[in-house]
Structure 1
Amino acid sequence: MDLPVEGPISPMLAKLQTEIPAGEGWLYEPKWDGFRSIVFRDGDEVQIWSRQEKPLNRYFPELPAILRASLPERSVVDGEIIVSVDGKLDFDALQLRIHPAASRAEKLSQEIPAGFVAFDLLAIDDRDLMATPFAERRELLEKHLTTTAEVSVTPQTSDLAAARAWLQSDGGIGLEAGLIAKQTDLLYKPKSRAMVKVKKLRTADTVVGGYRLNKAGDGVGALLLGVYDGDVLQYVGHTSSFKAAERRDLLELMRSIEGGESFGKGRSPGGQSRWASAKEDPWIAVEPKLVCEVSFDKMQQERFRHAATFLHWRTDKAPEECTWDQLTA
């Protein structure tokens, strides 16, 4: 490829806040429930990269043709891969698309085809737009992207009342009940948390560092969760909202990654706290490889005050992305 922006690059990220930023120069977009990705198109060649700078073409064989029909001939576009089932966004179905077998990936592309929502334009023709204000990048994106049934530009508003309405609604299509706020003069800065994210529900991406067995010993009783504070995984609580069959499946998964060290000694499941008791069941450490998103009500003494609710696995995120700052917003 011969584009003014070379790939792969990491996308610009958002910091979590509890209130919608208001004032002059703010633009608001709904938050989508998909896989963040950056697409590079140079003529017939299309490369799709994940937020972790990993290639995604093999998992979504239908997307290159779809994107060629929509994206400018020479361009770099930031956006999100989505899957809809019965007219609703379905993140669990999207995660099924990450399958190592090419034959299975092809079959899934027909059974649960993906689409793409464009957020930002980083390059077009011979122009590198990353140092161009966001408002201008957005205008160029709307002008040059061809909307189809599979590819669209995310809605946007400067109206705070409309933004508040988006925050309370899933838009009728299963949006994540959240907002992304960007300033009109925002330059594109890979990896930086220069945007703002606001969610109706408090959620966190956490790393599974261990588990406890259920009373019968034939399944997982609870997953033990942590986030990184620097390079140390600190325990923040647990989730146990699973059905009986799920507990047995989870036990098989946990046993496949047992061993090693996970949580730091400062805050670990066995440490002294108001949550601990002399009869607390022992826990089993696992390699900190798996990321899951959970919802929670509030933090107390640097832990979830109550058990968190498991939402779904986040196969699109690396463990080191699960940091303490998301819990301090």
Structure 2
Amino acid sequence: MALPLNPPLKPMLAKAVAGVDRLPDGDYWFEPKWDGFRCIVFRDGDAIELGSRNERPLTRYFPELLDPLRAQLPERCVVDGEIVIVGPERLEFDQLQQRIHPAESRINRLADETPASFVAFDLLALGDEVLCERPFAERRAALEQALGAVEAPVHLTRTTHDRAEADDWFQRFEGAGLDGVMAKPADGTYQPDKRVQFKVKHQRTADCVVAGYRVHKSGDGVGSLLLGLWSEVGGDLRHVGVAASFTAKRRAELVDELAPYEADADVGHPWQEWVEHMASSEEAGKVAGGLSRWNAAKDLSWHPLRAELVVEVKYGGVLDGR
């Protein structure tokens, strides 16, 4: 590719705020926060590349998008957006996750059964010009001019200047699978990998059991807590996700706080199959069935804890029981 911006490119990120009314003073454009895979599309003539948030290529996982993007995007451009799968009643994030699979035959079958769409929300380059230094209001106008006539499965995200309308979207569209709303400063430039825009997400709380932990990737302290909820039917402890993103100080403190729960944790642990697999694994106990779809080399070994410690956790939504 010979674009003014070429892959890999990290997308601009967002800071979380508690509500539309909690935003710093300023002039904002608001958009729905789509619950999908962040994707930067690079088009240079017939060549199309789809880049993920973590800079890994997505192109092979969504073959059904290539021809529509080639047909409807400008000849040479870089467009930021989201890949989503629209179900009968809501966005289907779990169907997106099924695409990250090594078998091409499976990917092609899923592309036919549950085709994806691309929702565009920013224009980073057009022709030979990089637009990142332009304010968002100008980039949005250029995006509308370039993509104003697109048709499914390519879409141009809705936007509003009205805070009341943005708050109405936040309240009204949760059941459709939208993740909240985005607030983008009208004068903001596009800054890759920087949290210079804002997101308002739905937040709930749950009391979860801390049944284990993983060591931080640096080898120092606790990297994440493995969380479970007791099932009302059968009394099983269902793994529902992890709590992570601790500071270095907090990671070290958690080592001491969790130590009392490690004694005899492998005796009658509710995730006994995982415990036994950990004890016999030649690879430091990777969790059975828990391999990362994004990084097969990622270390998922863990340390069991007696299922006695309960924490209150904030979460944005439930996907496939997690």
**C-alpha contact 1:40 1:77 (8 A) present in aligned 2:** yes
Q: After the TM superposition, which of the residue ranges 23-32 and 1-10 deviates more from structure 2?
A: 23-32
**How many Å separate the matches in 1 of 2:219 and 2:14?**
19
Which structure 2 residue ranges, 5 or more long, are not aligned? 240-249, 270-274, 279-284, 294-308
Q: Which residue matches 2:47?
A: 45
Q: Please list, as runs of the form range in 1=range in 2, the aligned pairs for 1:16-35 lying within 5 A after superposition.
A: 16-20=16-20, 21=23, 23-35=25-37
SS in 2 for 1:161: helix
Q: Please list, as runs of the form range in 1=range in 2, the aligned pairs for 1:167-182 lying within 5 A after superposition.
A: 167-170=170-173, 173-176=176-179, 178-182=180-184
Q: Please report how far the alpha carbon of residue 278 of structure 1 lies from its aligned counterpart in structure 2 after TM superposition.
A: 8.0
Higher helix share: 2
Give aligned-pair identity as a percent. 42
Q: Please report how far the alpha carbon of residue 70 of structure 1 lies from its aligned counterpart in structure 2 after TM superposition.
A: 2.0
Q: Please list, as runs of the form range in 1=range in 2, the aligned pairs for 1:165-314 lying within 5 A after superposition.
A: 165-170=168-173, 173-176=176-179, 178-202=180-204, 222=211, 224=213, 232-236=221-225, 238-240=227-229, 265-268=252-255, 271=258, 290=292, 305-306=311-312, 311-312=318-319
**How many Å separate the matches in 2 of 1:91 and 1:186?**
29
Which structure 1 residue ranges, 5 or more long, are not aligned? 205-210, 213-221, 251-262, 292-302, 314-329
Amino acid paired to 1:157: T
Instruction: Decide whether aligned partners of structure 1 residues 99 and 195 sit closer, same or farther in structure 2, where only a CA change above 3 A counts.
Output: same
Q: Which residue matches 1:255?
A: none
The structure with the largest alpha-carbon Rg is 2
**How many Å separate the matches in 2 of 1:308 and 1:240?**
14
Q: Please report how far the alpha carbon of residue 311 of structure 1 lies from its aligned counterpart in structure 2 after TM superposition.
A: 3.0
**How many Å separate the matches in 2 of 1:186 and 1:203?**
33
**How many Å separate the matches in 2 of 1:81 and 1:64?**
12
Q: Which residue matches 1:295?
A: none
Q: Which residue matches 1:132?
A: 134
Q: Which residue matches 1:15?
A: 15
Amino acid paired to 2:229: S
Q: Which residue matches 1:144?
A: 146
**How many Å separate the matches in 1 of 2:256 and 2:228?**
13
Q: Please report how far the alpha carbon of residue 198 of structure 1 lies from its aligned counterpart in structure 2 after TM superposition.
A: 1.0
Q: Number of aligned pairs?
A: 272
Q: Which residue matches 1:5?
A: 5
Instruction: Decide whether aligned partners of structure 1 residues 249 and 19 sit closer, same or farther in structure 2, where only a CA change above 3 A counts.
Output: closer
**How many Å separate the matches in 2 of 1:36 and 1:227?**
25
Backbone CA RMSD of aligned residues: 3.8
**C-alpha contact 1:237 1:304 (8 A) present in aligned 2:** no
Q: Please report how far the alpha carbon of residue 81 of structure 1 lies from its aligned counterpart in structure 2 after TM superposition.
A: 0.3
Instruction: Decide whether aligned partners of structure 1 residues 74 and 67 sit closer, same or farther in structure 2, where only a CA change above 3 A counts.
Output: same
Amino acid paired to 2:16: L
SS in 2 for 1:195: strand
Amino acid paired to 1:170: F
**TM-score using structure 1 length:** 0.70
**TM-score using structure 2 length:** 0.72
Amino acid paired to 1:271: L
Amino acid paired to 1:188: Y
SS in 2 for 1:38: strand
